[in-house]
Amino acid sequence: MTRTYNWGILAPGNIASKFVAELQEIKSAKVLAVGSRDLARAKEFADARQIERCYGSYEELAADPDLDIIYIGSPHPFHVAHTKLCLQHKKAVLCEKAFGMNVREVKDMIETAQREKVFLMEAFMTPHQPSYREARKILDSGLLGGIKHLHGWFGFNKSPYDMNGRLFNPALGGGALLDIGLYPLFDALWFLGQPRKVEAFADLTPQKIDQSVSVSMQFDGGKTASLFASFMSSVGVGTDIFCEKGALRLRRSSALHQTMEILLQGEDIRTFEWNEATCGLKLEAIEAMKCMTENRLESIVMSHQNSLQLAENLDLIRKKSGISYHL
């Protein structure tokens, strides 16, 4: 008989709303409680989603004895404190990206999980998706030959912006790099490994917030990557991987709608599509519960090492481009 895991939601914001909508489709998951610094906000979130329990503090949520795992959707700078709070209450944690503000915080979170012997995973959707698993399989097969270059991007333009809002607030880790730039960066690391050389450039606001950032990377074997993220360019999200015999294109209009194209010299384009039945944020939750059932403290799909590598390279890009989070 499949076990049902009781979930708590810490910080009922926009991303938590999307996550809960998918989580409530999973039979082995029950969203039991939500916690906010504002009890009225927690109650409003709970009532709209038929969630039984609501708390006016994160401490009360973490202390609920019936919860198995807590999803953390608070802004980046609070992840380390909120994660450690839950882990110290022996609650497994699925924490939104960016995992921490820097590699020091990420190490602190992982060391706490290991010390408390509790499961911890960064809620990073990419490696769980069928499009990425299929892309890895095709590239490993040699069908397209060796990878020569990767070009990844994530951009949108919702101006005019509230310059005091989260995206541009230095106290909340605002900026394109941590909000969306880590997606193309993850792709480069996942498909190409650790870079030998990194150069980065940022378009900074007067408050020194990166509204756009571009990155150039060199890898062993002559492989290269170019990455771009921006709040000022409505280009969507995608990754092109250029190989010896053709190319592979990854696209998504949302977490629930993804496509992949294979361009092989002399052949028609092959197109693959995935929808809400097989992809999305829920795959993070499914992986977390699978790990807990198997008594594992970390995921193989999105490992602690994956999170550390991502944080290390984010720190390097920040240093190279002059981005500062005022920490």
Q: Quickly state the pLDDT bin for 2 (edges 50, 70, 90).
A: confident
326 confidence band (pLDDT: 50, 70, 90)? low
Residues 267 and 211 in one domain: yes
CB 43 within 8 A of CB 12: no
Q: What is the pTM of this model?
A: 0.96
Name the residue range of residue 42's domain: 5-125
- Other residues' Cβ atoms within 10 Å of the Cβ of residue 139: 17
Give the pLDDT score at 91: 98
- pLDDT of residue 325 exceeding 90: no
Q: Tell me whether residue 117 is in a domain.
A: yes
Please check whether residues 136 and 270 belong to one and the same domain. Answer: yes
| Any domain includes 326 | no
Question: Final residue of a domain: which of 80, 104, 125?
Answer: 125
- For residue range 147-163, list pLDDT tens digits in order: 999 999 999 999 999 98
Q: Find the CATH number of the domain harbouring 33.
A: 3.40.50.720
Domain count, the chain: 2
CATH of the domain at 217: 3.30.360.10
The tens digit of pLDDT for each residue in 27-86 reads 999 999 999 999 999 999 999 999 999 999 999 999 999 999 999 999 999 999 999 999
> Do 89 and 166 lie in a common domain?
no
Asked whether residue 135 carries a pLDDT value surpassing 70, the answer given is yes
| Residue in the block written with tokens 């384009």 | 269
Answer yes or no: is 298 within a domain: no
What is the mean predicted confidence (pLDDT) over 226-237?
Answer: 98
Residue 297 lies in a domain: no
Note the pLDDT of residue 184. Answer: 98
Q: What are the CA-CA distances from residue 84 to residues 6, 55, 296, 308 (Å)?
A: 19, 18, 18, 17
| Percentage, residues of the chain above pLDDT 70 | 99
**Do 120 and 138 sit in the same domain of this protein?**
no
Question: Do 43 and 54 touch, CB atoms closer than 8 A?
Answer: yes
In this structure, are 262 and 165 located in the same domain?
yes
Which residues neighbour 243 within 8 Å (Cβ) at sequence distance 6 or greater?
A: 139, 144, 145, 146, 147, 148
Chosen domain end from 125, 153, 188? 125
Residue 315 parent element (H or E): helix 304-321
Asked whether residue 183 falls in the same domain as residue 217, the answer is yes
Does residue 168 contact residue 204 with C-beta atoms inside 8 Å? Answer: no
Q: Is residue 291 part of a domain?
A: no
**CA 135 to CA 126: how far, in whole Å?**
12
* The pLDDT of residue 164 is above 90: no
Q: What is the mean pLDDT of residues 272-298?
A: 97
Strand 246-254, strand 257-264: pairing: antiparallel
Mean pLDDT, the chain, integer? 96
Beta bridge partners of 122: 95
Let me know whether 158 and 212 are in one domain.
yes
* Shared domain check, 115 and 183: no
Q: Is the pLDDT of residue 1 over 70?
A: no
| Lookup result for tokens 């390279």 | 313
**What gap in Å lies between CA 315 and CA 323, rounded to an integer?**
9
Instruction: For residues 137 and 174, state if they share a domain.
Output: yes
AA letter at 69 = I
Q: What would the pLDDT profile of 214-227 be if each residue is shown by its tens digit?
A: 999 999 999 999 99
